[in-house]
Structure 1
Amino acid sequence: MVKNNISFYTIKKICTISFLLCSLFLLLSLNQSEATEPRPLDEKIVYFFELNEDIMPAAERRVTRALAEAEEKNADIVLMRVNTYGGMVNVADSIRTMMLNARPTTVAWIKNNAASAGALISIACDSIYMSRGSNIGAATVVNQTGEQMPDKYQSYMRSMMRSTAMAKNRDPLIAEAMVDETVEIEGIIDAGKILTFTGEEALAAGFIEGKAESIEEVLSNMGIENYTLHRYETSFTESIINFLLNPLVNSILLLVIIGGLYFELQTPGVGFPIIASVVAATLYFGPLYIEGMAANWEILLFIVGILLIALEIFVIPGFGVAGVSGIIVTVTALTLALIQNDGLDFSFPGMENVAFAFFRVSITLLVSIGIIIFMGGNIANLRFFQKMILADVQDKNEGYTSADFSLRDLVGSQGLAVSDFRPSGKIEIGDEQYFAVSDAEWIKKGERIQVVSLKGSNLVVKKVK
């Protein structure tokens, strides 16, 4: 028994020692592999990206991703080329906070403009360089039409500019003068004017580190000659979002939404038109939601509008409150999704932008109606749709049979319309109700009808005169 116990413990110790030795060998191997190509002590890793757009949620996503990639690459310096006229204050505040808390040294290289929110973001960087002809300042908070916002917005912006400048050892009074026209700085700005610096003026005031015309010159001015440069690359998702936000593409999606709904209502049953409409609505609202323009309640408003229109067509007789309300609600939702409103507060986008968005949606709606009127009767004859539908005649003499004999037996029968036809509705024959499509005429509820044919699974009816 003793021998067996000793043998067992001996084996256990050998296994334990072997495991530890293997683990140590693996660690040493990993360290050796990492040390095979050591980075020179004086070499810096520089990560470069551009901020050349309005300061909107897309810009915040870009900066977030850029800083994350810089961390992954263990970058020493993050170089951001700035060219923006500004944007949303809350987004600028988020980007400012990210730059203030970033581990690498952050550098703003202003190429042309760093106005308003762009000035705030630039001041949040450790160093600022400006190219020839560039400007920084004019940070008064305005709406999208250029009108100055109330003082509560200005007060918040003044505070952010001061605290950000102080955090980076810049003159807080100069930063405040970019927002507040009452600030006077001898030799720099008189009271009654908003401060905007040229590169030469900013350098003379000691507000920036220098001037530069290229990445190489920026880094050379910082005393960096030996470096590895990594550049930000636009992702496939960003490219798709930018494409879908194009006004032309946006308008085409609106056409598909409206046209799909119409043709689906003309031929009831979930098919290609409604699928196209749903996909178009997703592609319309999705990018706008990601951009922070379409809010949850605006998308819900659109869905409610569509449901009201469907309720009017299939349930409630006549064209009344539900139908009109549905159209108004749907158009309102499509319009609000295009502007940067805060609930029912339109002070930031301004009424001019609201009116322009409404004009865009209205024009698209009118174009859709025109296309429907022009193509409605001939859409099935288009080559595109001919490829998607069954055009061959399936003669019963060749062995083809209908899957629903009861509907075919209704051809020639008469009954009553139990809803208005626009152009589809409900009929009653005997004690049964069926969906049907009018044969190119308006049929009101209560009028007598006759089934004239069966197209696919749809009964085609006409009014009995």
Structure 2
Amino acid sequence: MRQIKLFIFSVLLTLVGISYGQDTTLVYVYDINQEIGPEAWRNTQNAFNEAQKHDADLVLIHMNTYGGLVTAADSIRTKILNSEIPVWVFIDNNAASAGALISIACDSVYMRPGANMGAATVVNQSGKAMPDKYQSFMRSMMRSTAESHGKDTTITPEGDTIIKWHRDPAIAEAMVDPRLKVEGVIDSGKVISFTTSEAIKYGFAEAEAENIAEALDKGNINKYTIVKQRLSTTDKIINFLINPFVHGILIMIIIGGLYFELQSPGIGFPLAAAALATLLYFAPLYLEGIAENWEVLIFIGGIVLIMVEIFVIPGFGVAGISGIAMVITGLTLAMIDNLEFQMNPNYVDTVMQSLAVVVISSFLAFVGGIWGSKKLFDNSFLPGLALNNVQETEDGFSNVESSFRNMTGRKGVAATMLRPSGTVEIDEEHYDARAETGFIEVGTRIVVVRTSSSQLYVEPEDMED
């Protein structure tokens, strides 16, 4: 089917060129020169939409990538295979791993001298090969993609059937699995990675070309107009925000902002920063159709449960734990395209990667929050945040009532939950207090262990020893 489409495409180009004698081929060019991921998938969708609007005759991918996410590559190769417009690729330097899958999906492949294509083994972030179930999924994708380009069947005089694939599925599989042997190509022990000349020899590339112009010339397209994808400022911002690394930073701001806000009275900058980071996290994912309504609602529901646990229900129990679980779930699932669950039977790996981003970022936010709350006001680079001058008592300064200085050792009860600040009742009078360590439940018997600047520091009475 793919070969028939290319034949019809070539005939139409020839007829139109003869009739009009002018530029007749509109070539839409876009780049894949980064890691294969959400950004590359988004650019691909935009490119094909724009190519259709321009009524392009050909889409040409200018590629240079070391690979990336299998899920994103699968989405891109599916887009190419289903395209009514022929798709070519010019490999400028590398089409490794996920890049090889995308290249094999294209109708024609042209490679620059010194370029490489192959090495499609699925690996984790440390570069270690994943278990065989992941390799099996990648092998099947490589095989089916190669098979989509069709085959020639010949019957010999002796009655034997000879099948010649236009792109050999066995070779495509051997780009993934080093255990596979392909007679005359590789004996096993290493995955296949083709140079330009090897790719041409074994039918995985049409020709060698120095640049896009030469690739079009060798593809018998001599008169053409090129329209190149131009990313708008909005596209660049969205591509930046959907980067997994940026997701990690935004999650740290969300969690860190909430932590700082709970440590300080009133509503201020930390909560505003957390709210802005939440908007920047979810908005691009929602607009791109990656995050669904229910995933956003899970996150919001988790925040509500945490607030209820802190300000309404004493202690920390089911509501708080459920809220934390919902927040983590919402942040994790929002990063994953829901098509992933339909297209990839091994989606668990993608879920675990997203979960790792959320958990690690949250942990770093807590650690940073604890450290930052102690260091922020002592920072010499931010002298305006706190009064650094010491007003000594012997110099006549005193902002602590004498009664406070005599309260160490006094006992009472926690009138509110101390998280770590709250209110205690001592001899039927209420005082602002702060837990010396951890949180103190409402109603707990407490003892004042020290005072500082009109602030009582307390701990549970049973810790007095």
Normalising by structure 2, report the TM-score.
Answer: 0.65
Partner of 1:306: 303
- Measured after TM superposition, the shift of residue 212 of structure 1 is 1.3
Partner of 1:363: 364
Please give the alpha-carbon distance, in whole angstroms, between the structure 2 residues aligned to 1:229 and 1:103.
19
Counterpart residue identity of residue 244, structure 1 = L
- Measured after TM superposition, the shift of residue 109 of structure 1 is 0.6
Partner of 1:60: 41
- Measured after TM superposition, the shift of residue 445 of structure 1 is 3.1
Question: Aligned pair in 2 of structure 1 residues 153, 62: CA closer, same or farther (>3 Å)?
Answer: same
Partner of 2:211: 214
Counterpart residue identity of residue 419, structure 2 = R
Partner of 1:164: 148
Instruction: Provide, for residues 143-170 of structure 1, a one-character-per-residue CA deviation record: whole Å limited to 9, x for no partner.
Output: 5443243165255325423422328943
Question: Aligned pair in 2 of structure 1 residues 437, 50: CA closer, same or farther (>3 Å)?
Answer: farther
Partner of 1:228: 225
Say if 2:328 and 2:358, in contact at 8 Å, map to a contact too: no
- Pairing partner for 2:130 from 127, 147, 164: 147
- Pairing partner for 2:54 from 50, 66, 73: 73
Please give the alpha-carbon distance, in whole angstroms, between the structure 2 residues aligned to 1:101 and 1:288.
24
User: How does 1:441-460 map onto structure 2 within 5 Å?
Assistant: 445-446=442-443
- Measured after TM superposition, the shift of residue 61 of structure 1 is 2.1
Please give the alpha-carbon distance, in whole angstroms, between the structure 1 residues aligned to 2:354 and 2:100.
25
Instruction: Provide, for residues 359-397 of structure 1, a one-character-per-residue CA deviation record: whole Å limited to 9, x for no partner.
Output: 44323321122212333699xx97699xxxxxxxxxxxx
Q: What secondary structure sits across from 1:81 in the alignment? A: strand
Q: 142-151 or 48-57: which moved more?
A: 142-151
Question: Aligned pair in 2 of structure 1 residues 181, 252: CA closer, same or farther (>3 Å)?
Answer: closer
Partner of 1:421: 418
- Name stretches of at least 5 consecutive residues in structure 2 with no aligned partner: 1-18, 152-164, 387-411, 447-453, 459-465
Q: What secondary structure sits across from 2:220 in the alignment? A: coil
- Measured after TM superposition, the shift of residue 239 of structure 1 is 1.6
- Measured after TM superposition, the shift of residue 48 of structure 1 is 0.9
Please give the alpha-carbon distance, in whole angstroms, between the structure 2 residues aligned to 1:383 and 1:220.
67
Counterpart residue identity of residue 53, structure 1 = Q
Please give the alpha-carbon distance, in whole angstroms, between the structure 2 residues aligned to 1:347 and 1:318.
35
Question: Aligned pair in 2 of structure 1 residues 146, 83: CA closer, same or farther (>3 Å)?
Answer: farther
Please give the alpha-carbon distance, in whole angstroms, between the structure 2 residues aligned to 1:293 and 1:149.
28
Structure 2 residue 25 is the aligned partner of structure 1 residue 44: yes
Say if 2:422 and 2:433, in contact at 8 Å, map to a contact too: no
Structure 2 residue 439 is the aligned partner of structure 1 residue 438: no
Identity %: 46
Partner of 1:120: 101
Q: What secondary structure sits across from 2:148 in the alignment? A: helix
**Alignment root-mean-square deviation, CA:** 4.7
Q: Which has the larger radius of gyration?
A: 1
Q: 86-95 or 288-297: which moved more?
A: 288-297
- Measured after TM superposition, the shift of residue 142 of structure 1 is 4.4
How many aligned residue pairs are there?
Answer: 381
Counterpart residue identity of residue 361, structure 1 = S
- Measured after TM superposition, the shift of residue 424 of structure 1 is 5.6
Structure 2 residue 376 is the aligned partner of structure 1 residue 375: yes
Normalising by structure 1, report the TM-score.
Answer: 0.65
- Measured after TM superposition, the shift of residue 62 of structure 1 is 1.3
Please give the alpha-carbon distance, in whole angstroms, between the structure 1 residues aligned to 2:364 and 2:316.
23
Question: Aligned pair in 2 of structure 1 residues 338, 370: CA closer, same or farther (>3 Å)?
Answer: farther
Please give the alpha-carbon distance, in whole angstroms, between the structure 1 residues aligned to 2:85 and 2:256.
52
Counterpart residue identity of residue 438, structure 1 = D
Question: Aligned pair in 2 of structure 1 residues 189, 216: CA closer, same or farther (>3 Å)?
Answer: same
Q: 192-201 or 172-181: which moved more?
A: 172-181
Say if 2:36 and 2:65, in contact at 8 Å, map to a contact too: yes
Partner of 2:90: 109
Counterpart residue identity of residue 56, structure 2 = A
Partner of 1:194: 191
Please give the alpha-carbon distance, in whole angstroms, between the structure 2 residues aligned to 1:417 and 1:39.
90
